[in-house]
Structure 1
């Protein structure tokens, strides 16, 4: 096991918050957002590519996403990929442009999405706690090896706990904001 590395713990905890924000960005809230299409991959040129590598994605109106496909031969595969992505979106093909009207969310669907946001947040909390556990374990190893004293270990454990608490507060804030956005409150 590696020695205690505060910068590594901070980086990994920040990573769990960023991963959560990315996951939450993909949840549909009834408003158009280009991040909604982030998980969509299109099969073109013999491989799977993210949609934003073959097209320009924009939001011309609050309830409409526009996908301007650069190569006309990729319009069909892009349309198919968006339809099969499970986002509940049905593109309207207009030349090389796909228009995606964002339908209203039903109350049940809003509750489902809010529950999913909570599940994502719990996954991020677990990731942060796992990072804390790794940090605590490396401190105990360092103490056994004589690298740090017992007092130093206790002081650093408090530091790790504060970092964990701050990270979980960030996770809770991001999840609460997304839930509020989804439920329209």
Structure 2
């Protein structure tokens, strides 16, 4: 594996860590409701557990209510039960074919818990990125040891990977800060 391939591989994996962080943050509940909060809810659909988005249409009915419209008539009760039993603390109400999921306002204490959780997610992403940096640097050192790259190449590539790492960590900090603002906004 060449130095360029090592760097490219490290960048790809760091990008995946960022995408994973974005995905986990999209599920964190903020002051305003978001249909993505129901992405973790799975419904029993003829013996297999499917994500809610694969058995119903999710939409925002108003500023505080998510609408869930099942694609099949008989799924309403199962969907309602799955939402109620999820650990999201939501209480869905059925209205004919539509299930309304009102989002309760968040307390100050809950907002602080959410910001702590978001910071923890951010720290986890930073650790993953730093581990990828370490792995890439070890691969480069091995190339130098095996005489497949010069020490100048090693120094340049280590600096390059450090710049990449710094850029990714700044992006993680930006994501965490914007999510914190979103959570604390009343």
Tell me what 1:12 maps to: 13
**Distance in 1 of aligned mates of 2:119 and 2:17:** 14
SS at match of 1:29: coil
Post-superposition offset of 1:60: 2.5
Given that residues 60 and 66 in structure 1 are in contact (C-alpha distance below 8 angstroms), is that contact kept between their aligned partners in structure 2? yes
* Runs of 4 or more above 6 Å deviation: none
CA distance in structure 1 between the aligned counterparts of 2:164 and 2:172, rounded to whole angstroms:
12
Q: 2:158, 2:177 → 1: CA distance?
A: 28
| Structure 1 equivalent of residue 60 of structure 2 | 59
CA distance in structure 2 between the aligned counterparts of 1:8 and 1:73, rounded to whole angstroms: 47
CA distance in 2, matches of 1:167, 1:84: 37
Alignment of 1:104-115 (within 5 A): 104-115=105-116
Task: For 1:78 and 1:145, locate their aligned partners in 2 and report how far apart those are by CA, in whole Å.
Answer: 59
| TM-score normalised according to structure 2 size | 0.94
Whether the 8 Å contact between 1:42 and 1:78 is mirrored in structure 2 is yes
Structure 1 stretches lacking a partner, 5+ long? none
Asked if the contact 2:31–2:182 (Cα under 8 Å) also holds between the matched residues in 1, the reply is no
RMSD (Å) for aligned C-alpha atoms: 1.3
Report the count of equivalent residues.
184
TM-score of the pair, normalised by structure 1: 0.95
The secondary structure found in structure 2 opposite 1:58 is strand
Structure 2 partner of 1:158 = 159
Larger mean Cα displacement after TM superposition, 37-46 or 155-164: 37-46
Contact in 2 for aligned 1:30/1:102 (Cα 8 Å): no
Structure 2 CA distance, aligned partners of 1:142 and 1:30? Answer: 50
